[in-house]
Structure 1
């Protein structure tokens, strides 16, 4: 029965599955490619001739879905990445790590992004947001699609006998057993979501609103303001709160040794949930800093309230230096240079 199903609908099933996964739906596509590769190896006469067709369809489906994400990044820019922060089951700081990974390797990261969980969902729209030419995007993303699709089919062909045994076991399993497996997968996804909500609630305990920060700055009692967005995100949204200084939560020890513990600090990032800002505030508090608060709503809340913003220097004017921490009295615009567009 499975053989007949694959013979009749195999290429269509692979195309729909890969397209759905590429669009971001929670349906893994690699198992389908592996299963088809295994069936082609076990039935060389009836299924193997469809291998090239399936490979082409898988590549085409990947490019369709990824092109839509690329277009969304091109049109919406940083707002697209903020939306991904809001929807992701992973901590917001994972999105920032992906931004930095893209900043280091540029559009070349698309060649391997599908092999790294969570990387493609951010790197593809970021390629659009960073102004990558579509033909360049297609070249690298297409190469990645070929490698990813071909790897799935090849794994299936190499381990066909083992996969056949697994499929046989699955076919003998009762509906109750399959329901249990599905329930376990849903439970895991639910657990991740609940843990994320718990983390957000824990970190939401202390915040400062943009109106409070603005009042402090107007009263000449301005706290030290840290902008902890990644350099790549600052390229997409090249504005800062006046007087803000760029800081990197990976260099906590440097920050702890540089700044006075008795000063008031406000930290903001790009993601709507401010998780990375809240995490950094938590670490500084543990290190003995007396008053450290994340900015509720981050830079977007400050901007939406109509507060003033300072533009970053243009990429053409900025010196080519690495992302460094400024001194406490150095203006934001002079502390960090932005990298050139890749």
Structure 2
């Protein structure tokens, strides 16, 4: 029965599955490619003849879905990345790591992005936002898609006997197998979502509002150190900062701990909707001995939405910790 299903609908199923996965839906496509590769190895005269068409369809489906994200990045820039940050079940710091990875390797990263969890869905819209030409995007994305699909099909062919044994055991259990697999996937997603919501809830009270920060900056007491912890790539897309900000990298935590007074008030902001990156760094600095560290509620977007003045980005290796007054816009 499985043989007939794969022979008749296999290419269409692979195309639909890969397209859905590349659009960002929670439907992994690699297992489908592995299964098709295994079936092709076990039935070379029937399903095996469809290997090349399936590879082409997988690449084509990937390019369609990825092009949608590329154009979203081109049209909406950093807002697309903020949307991904909001929807992701991973910490915002994971999104920042992929931004830095793209910033280091550029569009070439698309040739291997499919093999790194989370990298593809962020690097593709970033390629659009950073002004990559569509031709360059298609070239590297096609290489990556072809490598990724080929690996899936080859893995299926190599491990065909083991996969056949798994399906033989699953067939004896009947529909119960599918129910168990779906239930486990749902439980995993629910667990990740629950942990993320609990972290956000736990950190919600330990923040400073835009109005509170603005008032402290007017009063100039106590001394404030204002850290902008956005990635360099995010700052390129949104080249404005809160006046007096110091660029800080959480990967250089030891240098930060050694450089700044532990009794000064430290305010940290980023640009991801849930400020988890800022809250995470605030916790690290607090654990390192700083007495008063808080994330800015709503981050840079909240400051901008409140009508407060922004400063054009100026990269400096060393900025004074004296905070300039940021008058509200009229």
Q: TM-score, normalised by structure 2?
A: 0.94
Q: 2: CA distance between counterparts of 1:312 and 1:260?
A: 25
SS of match in other structure, 2:28: coil
The alpha carbon displacement at 1:218 in A equals 2.2
Residue 172 of structure 2 is aligned to residue 180 of structure 1: no
Please list, as runs of the form range in 1=range in 2, the aligned pairs for 1:79-94 lying within 5 A after superposition. 79-94=79-94
Q: Report the aligned-residue RMSD.
A: 1.6
Equivalent of 1:326, from 292, 315, 318?
318
The alpha carbon displacement at 1:325 in A equals 5.5
Give ranges in structure 2 of 5+ residues lacking alignment: 325-330
Q: Which residue number in structure 2 is paired with residue 253 of structure 1?
A: 254
Please list, as runs of the form range in 1=range in 2, the aligned pairs for 1:14-33 lying within 5 A after superposition. 14-33=14-33
Q: Which residue number in structure 2 is paired with residue 311 of structure 1?
A: 312
The alpha carbon displacement at 1:219 in A equals 2.5
Q: Which residue number in structure 2 is paired with residue 124 of structure 1?
A: 124
- Higher mean C-alpha displacement, 300-309 vs 156-165: 156-165
Q: Which residue number in structure 2 is paired with residue 299 of structure 1?
A: 300
- Higher mean C-alpha displacement, 281-290 vs 91-100: 281-290
Provide Cα deviations, 1:190-235, integer angstroms capped at 9, x if missing partner: 1111111111112222111111111222233362110000001001
The alpha carbon displacement at 1:330 in A equals 7.8
Contact 1:99–1:230 at 8 Å: present in 2 too? yes
Q: Which residue number in structure 2 is paired with residue 271 of structure 1?
A: 272
The alpha carbon displacement at 1:181 in A equals 2.7
Contact 1:15–1:58 at 8 Å: present in 2 too? yes
Q: 2: CA distance between counterparts of 1:153 and 1:234?
A: 40
Q: Which residue number in structure 1 is paired with residue 51 of structure 2?
A: 51
Q: 2: CA distance between counterparts of 1:90 and 1:25?
A: 15
Q: 2: CA distance between counterparts of 1:327 and 1:252?
A: 17
Q: Which residue number in structure 2 is paired with residue 233 of structure 1?
A: 234
Q: Which residue number in structure 2 is paired with residue 321 of structure 1?
A: none
Q: 1: CA distance between counterparts of 2:130 and 2:252?
A: 26
Contact 2:242–2:311 at 8 Å: present in 1 too? yes
Q: Which residue number in structure 1 is paired with residue 211 of structure 2?
A: 211
Provide Cα deviations, 1:252-296, integer angstroms capped at 9, x if missing partner: 111111011111111001111111111111111122212111000
Contact 2:229–2:248 at 8 Å: present in 1 too? yes
Q: Which residue number in structure 2 is paired with residue 336 of structure 1?
A: none
Aligned length: 323
SS of match in other structure, 1:267: strand
Q: Measured at CA, do residues 285 and 325 of structure 1 come closer, stay the same or move farther in structure 2, by a change above 3 Å?
A: farther
Regions of 4+ moved over 2 Å: 174-178, 218-222, 324-332
Provide Cα deviations, 1:59-112, integer angstroms capped at 9, x if missing partner: 000000000000111111111111111110001110001111111111111111
Q: 2: CA distance between counterparts of 1:121 and 1:86?
A: 13
- Higher mean C-alpha displacement, 144-153 vs 208-217: 208-217
